Amino acid sequence: MRLHGLSWVTRQLVRRIAAVFLILPASLTLYVSFALTATAFAQQQPYPSKPIRLILPFSAGGGADNNARIIAEPLAQRLGQPIIIDYKPGAGGTLAANIVANAAPDGYTLLYATPGQQMTNPHLMEKMPYDALKSFASVSQVIEGSNVLVVNKNLPVNSVAELIALAKAKPGTINFASSGIGSSSHLAGELFKSMAGIDIVHVPYKGSGAAITEVLGGSIQMTIDTVSVYLQQIKANNVKALAISTLERNPILPQLPPIADTLPGFAAAPVNYITAPAGTPRPIIERLNREINIVLKLPAVHEQFAQNGATEKGSTPEAMDALIRSESAKWKKIIDQSRATAN
């Protein structure tokens, strides 16, 4: 009996069953033989051999969903299997992350992650259902997003420097909106407040839609939120855009300087990336990483991300690990300073 290509455990199982073949009825012998053949075939199946589930920590229709969809279709074509986006909003993204953390480490359940799940929630929440650093195996960064600093069109400022000067002249009178505690817009505002040395008041909303209404109406004076969320309002001159949150200018709003031109080192760029359960075999991680980085170089993918104000940013798994750790340390300082909490 040739047992090459099977695992040690399977080989031992075959040998033990073979030892009792002589006392089994012919029909049962045939059944056991078929089962062993099926097991061996399953073990030799190349990855992936069935659809992949990509868990998204938010509802359909948001920025993360749009970005996930851009990469999912061409990635599915490269892998030869469907990628099913599964929406699991709740608990600031930790609900989705916990599903992935506890999934089988076989490459068929992945997380489309944003900063909350590993970089910021551990510092906002007293208890986490998983270990932010040990429960996952990074696959690759996907994009670097970009936030834009906008103010109500009637606010008498036309630059970041003028906004800071007004806030210093009238401390506690300028409100900044966010799409929720711990969101990118919240932490970007806190970072701005800290680096500028100003007293501005955070007003959280349940999503960017409600925040937009208040910024347009004037009860909220400013926000630093996703480019794609405010782009149409900027083009329609319903708000004044002052600066971009990345260190470099964004091609979709090339007229805007970086906030860092006024506050050196300021960077609040939400990262999107793909990660898997800890213990996922290295060959699977490498296959996914290779295909993701190929997809990110496709002109059509670049164009779609650019329309969302995002920049494709592939990486190695190790580089993604390093980015998670550095961003986590950065935002911990801001969260501790602001005393923000999601408990």
E runs forming strands in the chain: 52-56, 83-87, 109-113, 136-144, 147-152, 175-178, 201-204, 222-226, 239-244, 271-277, 311-312
Whether 186 and 154 have beta carbons less than 8 Å apart is answered as no
CB 152 within 8 A of CB 221: yes
317-326 contact pairs (CB < 8 A, 24+): 317/137, 317/138, 317/139, 317/140, 317/285, 317/289, 318/138, 319/141, 320/138, 320/139, 320/140, 320/141, 320/273, 320/275, 321/138, 323/141, 323/271, 323/273, 324/118, 324/119, 324/133, 324/138, 325/133
The pLDDT value given to residue 179: 83
What backbone phi and psi angles, to 5 degrees, belong to 137? -120, 110
Residue 324 · residue 150 · CB < 8 Å? no
- The alpha carbon torsion through 129, 98, 301, 74 (nearest 10 deg) reads 160
C-alpha 218/C-alpha 198 separation (Å) is 20
CB of 148 closer than 8 Å to CB of 245 = yes
Report pLDDT for 136: 98
| Residue 237 DSSP symbol | T
- For 223-245, the pLDDT digits (tens) are 999 898 899 999 999 999 999 99
Per-residue pLDDT at 342: 78
Q: Do 94 and 121 meet the contact criterion of CB atoms below 8 Å apart?
A: yes
- pTM to 2 decimals? 0.79
Q: What is the band of 338 on the pLDDT scale with cuts at 50, 70, 90?
A: confident
Instruction: Identify the pLDDT of residue 90.
Output: 85
Candidate from 1-5, 81-85, 286-290 with smallest mean pLDDT:
1-5
Query: Is pLDDT at 58 greater than 90 in this prediction?
Result: no
Pairing of the two strands 271-277 and 83-87: unpaired
Helix axes 317-338, 184-196, angle to 10 degrees: 60
Spatial distance between the Cα atoms of 17 and 6, rounded to a whole number of angstroms: 15
The pLDDT of residue 35 is: 40
User: In this model, does residue 4 exceed pLDDT 50?
Assistant: no
Respond yes or no on whether the N-terminal peptide bond of residue 204 is cis (omega within 30° of 0): no
Mean pLDDT computed over 204-213? 85
For tokens 């033989």, what's the residue? Answer: 33
Distance CA 283, CA 285 (A): 6
CA dist 246 and 221 (Å) reads 21
Q: What is the CA radius of gyration of the chain?
A: 25
pLDDT tens column, 251-283: 999 999 999 999 999 999 889 999 999 999 999
- Per-residue pLDDT of 137-191, as tens digits, reads 999 999 998 899 999 999 999 999 999 999 999 999 999 999 888 888 999 999 9
107-119 pLDDT, tens per residue?
999 999 999 999 9
In the predicted structure, residue 91 carries a pLDDT above the cut 90: no
Q: Quick one: which of 12, 6, 273, 266 has its CA closest to 149?
A: 266
pLDDT at res. 15: 55
What is residue 153's three-state secondary structure?
coil
Confidence of residue 62 (pLDDT cuts 50, 70, 90): confident
Residues 6+ positions from 222 with CB-CB distance below 8 Å? 149, 150, 151, 152, 155, 163, 174, 175, 176, 177, 189, 200, 215
Q: 52-56 and 109-113: which strand pairing?
A: parallel
211: tokens are 């925040």
Point out the least confidently predicted range of 9-23, 38-52, 64-78, 194-208: 9-23
User: Which tens digits make up the pLDDT trace of 20-33?
Assistant: 444 444 444 444 44
Which of the four pLDDT bands, split at 50, 70 and 90, describes residue 44?
A: low
Residue 180: predicted pLDDT: 82
Which of 8-22, 42-56, 258-272 holds the top average pLDDT? Answer: 258-272
